Structures are given as structure tokens and as C-alpha cells.
Chains A and B, each alone.
Chain A
Amino acid sequence: MVDLLSIDTINFLAAAILLVSLLVMASTRMGQLVRSFAIQSIMLAAISVVLAHYTGSEHIYIVAALTLVVKGIIIPRFLMYSIDRLKVHREIEPLVGIPASLLISGGLVIVAYYVTEPLISSAEAVTRNCLAISLAVVFIGMFMMISRRKAMTQMVGLLMMENGLFLGIISTTYGMPLIVEIGIFFDVFMAVLIMGIFAYRINQTFETLDTTFLRRLRG
């Protein structure tokens, strides 16, 4: 029972996620960055709900709930808290100018589609462009970490890559075994916590979160 409505909604939401990640690339303020990450996670939860309904496997509902709670609310809250605590300079000084990074993200999306093009012919309808979009979001997340100075933006970049990953998981495999899903959630959460601790320590020793100062170990 190919439910056309759900496929369209999934595609729409996937496209929305891609749009948000491009929005993140364009954001110049730290708060704006975190908020758009939160929106992206919420959309991801929505997709998983629709997919659960479409495929009828219950445990995806749990996953969706987890995404909504952990990624949608707790992590952004934690990020905003640490931004305030560390009195991080709100302005994001990008290494690569905003217009240039947007162009490159566009290029990355094209590359993602080019790479997944042979797979799409064999995959099912639903997963057809979700896989490409997940790959694109992963690439953009990575590029985000490369092109921004602040340690915080690197954390957010990593989380965006995780979101892209989740989109991939849901679209191709309709949810991996539950233990694995929960394990991944737990790991992502731990990673964010530990990065927060390290960011705090770096801020203490270097008085700034600007990773371009971290250049003492050479050669």
C-alpha cells in the first residue's frame, strides 16, 4: 500500500531539512545557529513519525520521541546554557565568507546527488532522495566545522552531521535494531557533554573558543 501522501510529506520534510541546513550555513549569530539546529531535529522527529506510520513498525515511534526530546530540546538548551556561561562572543567570524560557503554547500549537494545516483535506481521509492539529502547534510555539517572558527560551531556542525546520519538511517533501513538506536543516541549525548567539558577547559586556558589559536602543535 503505497501511501502517496506520506511519501510526499517525507520528501517535503527531507527537503525542509536540507533547507534548514543551508540556513544554518548562512547564520551569523550563535543563537540563530542553535535554534535552527533545534528546528532541524524537530523536523527529523516529524519524518520518523510519518515513516513509522507508513511502515507500521512501532519502535520508530520511540526513536522519534527520543529525537524530539534529546535533540530537539535538551541539547539546544545545553548549548545555549554553555554559550551564556562561557560568555562566548555571539558574533560568528567565519573563515570562509558567507556567500562562498553557501556556494560550496550547493556544490556539496550536487556531489551528494552525483554519488548516490547509481544507488537510487535500486532503492525503494521512499528512500530515493532521502539518502541523497542525508549525504548532503553530512557533507554540509562537515563543511560547517571546516569553515567556522568557534569551537561551539564545530560542535553544532558535528550534531548536524548526526542529524544527516539519522535521516540516512531512517530512510534506508526503516530503523535499525533498537539497542543500536538507543546506543547511538546515548553516544551522541555523551559526545556533546564531553565536548562541552572540553570547551569549558579550553575557554579557561585560552580565554577564547577560537580554534585558530589552537596552532601550537606543528610539524
Chain B
Amino acid sequence: MQLSDLLLNLAEVLFILLSSPLLAGVIRKVKSWMQCRQGPSVLQPYRDIWKLLHKSTVVSKEASWLFLIIPYVCLGAMVCLAMMVPVFTTGPSGGVGDMVAVIYILGLFRFMMVLGGLEGGSSFGGMGSSRELMISAIVEPTLLLSIFSVAAISGTTDLSAISAHFAGQGLSGISPTLFLASAAIFISLMAENSRVPFDNPATHLELTMVHEGMLLEYSGRELALMDMASYVRLTMFMVILSNVFFPWGIALGMEAGELALGVGSIALKLLVLAISVALVESVMAKMRLFRLPNLLTISFTLSLLAVMSYYIL
């Protein structure tokens, strides 16, 4: 790992950290436009986080020692995830972990968040956690299966190698497996990051909130950390989706030109994805909790079909 790879990696991480609140703001902005209202400015998430960082934290008497550690572990996991996933270039992603490891780190983040939900002993936290687990119990296998299908095509599960493989092929790489796998991953993106059809991120109405329920107990700096972590998770999902399924334009080498192209293409793709997420959110209404499994099983079958299609076709 030469110095330049290290620097590039750090640059990638900084890019992710800075852009994730922006993406959240863009999604909110597009949704408000769709509802033909002006909506908060795109930079609002930055201001929220800055404000929360300076507020004092209220910790419940019944919370245990774990309560204050969880936010740091969550954000740390997400930062580590940022370092592992190739953003601009397929070069120095460090070869630390492959796609399966990425999914397990997402699992760690979710595990910690659910523990946080159970901390204070409040029923909202408990409800949020149990619903989160219901969703994730089906999402995780979907993710793993779609990874398996992509790994089967490209022969390796290493992220940068996959994106290099598909980037090199250009348009000829499109195959039904890829299409099915990307659809499955898109649905799991919506599920994991508690977007509308699965959960409404905006409200605090206990009936609808899954993700928010777990964060209810946190306040001040910890809340800032958790929000930041969920923003980064959303961005990472989009980066993975874009780099694995539509990697054209990602920088293969280290020259400045390619890097610039890489940065430009990833920024563009993130924007497009954010807008599409916002569009889906405003078009669909939130589903009833126990109708979610049907949608989730659709995504599971999609990924299973993706794997089958690779072998049968």
C-alpha cells in the first residue's frame, strides 16, 4: 500500500463523509418539490448535525454502559466500510475485505443499532428493533444471493476486481442476471435504509417508524453520530449499487484524468440514484407492516432468479 493509495483512500472516505448529508438533503428537496412545496434547503442536514454536535446529551437512567459506545461503533463501522469500497478508482481499496465482509459490516451496524433501541427499555425502541430485524432477516439473504450471482459472473467476490471486470466490458456486460441482481439490491436499499415503502423516515408516529424508533433514546452528539452513520450507509449502498452494476467511468489507473472522470461519474451516479429514490418515495405510499414480507420475498426471489439465470442461461 503505497502512500498514494493511502491518500487516495482517505480522499474517498472524505468524499463519502461530506457528500452523504448532501444526498439526504437532495432526496428531501426532490420529495418536497414533488409535493410542490419549497422544502428545507439541501444543506439542512449539515446544519442539523452541526447543531446536535453542540447540544448536551440526555441519557436514560435505565440505559447500560453500552448505550454511549454504540454510536461510536456504528459510525466507525460505516467509515471502515467507506474505506473498503472503491469509490473513484478500482485501485487501492486495500484488499481488506470482499463483498461478503461488506455485508457483514452492515450487519454489525444494524446489530448495534438494534441493541441501542433495546437500551432504554422503552416500548418504542423495542418495537423499532423487532420490526428492523423482521425486515433485515430477509434482506440479508437477498444481498448475499445477489453478491453470489455477481461473483459467479466475474469469478471473484473482491469489489474492486468486480467493478474493474465490468468497467472493462463496457455495455456488452449487460445480462439478465445483472439486471435482476440490481433490482433486488435496489429493493434491499429501500428496505435497509428505511425509505418510504418500508418505513417513513420523516415522521415520529410510533405506528410507522422503524428506523427512527431505535434512535428515539439518543440525543445530542450521539444522535448526530447515528444520523451521520445512517446517511453514510445510504450513500454506501448507492456507491455499491453504482460501482458494481454500472461501473462505467470508474478510474482504472491512477492518472489525474481518469481520477477526475471517476469523481465526476460517481457524483453523477449518486445524484441520479438519489433522485430515483426520492421519486420512488413520493410515488409509493408506506405499506402496512405485515404486507412488507411480500415485497421482501419478491426481492429474495429476484436474487434467487438472478443466481439461477446465470447458471441456466
In their complex, do chains A and B touch, with some C-beta pair under 8 Å? no
